[in-house]
Structure 1
Amino acid sequence: MTNTRTLMAALVLSCSAAAAFAGDVTVSEPWVRGTVAAQKATGAFMGLTAAKPMRLVGASSPAAPVVEVHEMSMENDVMKMRPVAAIDLPAGQTVALKPGGYHIMLMGLTAPLNAGAVVPLTLSFEAADGQREDVQVEAPVRELAAPAMKMKHGAH
Structure 2
Amino acid sequence: MRLSARPLLLRSLLSLPLSLSLLAAAAQADSLSVEDAHVRAVPPGSPTTAAFMTLTNPGETDLALVGGASPLAGHLELHNHVMVDGVMQMRRVEAIPLPAGETVRLAPGGWHLMMFELAATPAEGERVELTLTLDSGESLTLEAPVQRVQPMEMKGGEKGAHSGH
- TM-score (normalised: structure 2): 0.77
User: Contact 1:64–1:107 at 8 Å: present in 2 too?
Assistant: yes
2:147 corresponds to: 142
Q: Number of residue pairs matched? A: 133
2:27 corresponds to: 20
User: Contact 1:64–1:109 at 8 Å: present in 2 too?
Assistant: yes
2:82 corresponds to: 73
User: Contact 1:19–1:30 at 8 Å: present in 2 too?
Assistant: yes
2:11 corresponds to: none
2:83 partner amino acid:
M
Aligned pairs for 1:116-127 (under 5 A) are 116-126=125-135
Partners of 2:57 and 2:102 in 1: CA distance: 7
User: Contact 1:114–1:143 at 8 Å: present in 2 too?
Assistant: no
Partners of 1:93 and 1:119 in 2: CA distance: 26
Indicate whether 1:84 and 2:93 are aligned: yes
Once the two structures are superposed, residues 23-55 of structure 1 have per-residue CA deviations (whole angstroms, 9 ceiling, x without a partner) of 000011000110111101011000011123111
The DSSP-based 3-state class of the residue aligned with 1:71 is strand
Partners of 1:93 and 1:101 in 2: CA distance: 16
Shift of residue 76 of structure 1?
A: 1.1
1:153 corresponds to: none
Once the two structures are superposed, residues 54-112 of structure 1 have per-residue CA deviations (whole angstroms, 9 ceiling, x without a partner) of 11000100001110000111111211111100011111211000000000000111111
The DSSP-based 3-state class of the residue aligned with 1:121 is strand
Indicate whether 1:96 and 2:101 are aligned: no
Name whichever of 55-64 and 135-144 sits farther off. 135-144
Partners of 1:86 and 1:132 in 2: CA distance: 13
Shift of residue 120 of structure 1?
A: 0.4
Q: Which stretches in structure 2 are left out of the alignment for 5+ residues?
A: 1-16, 152-165
Partners of 2:109 and 2:81 in 1: CA distance: 6
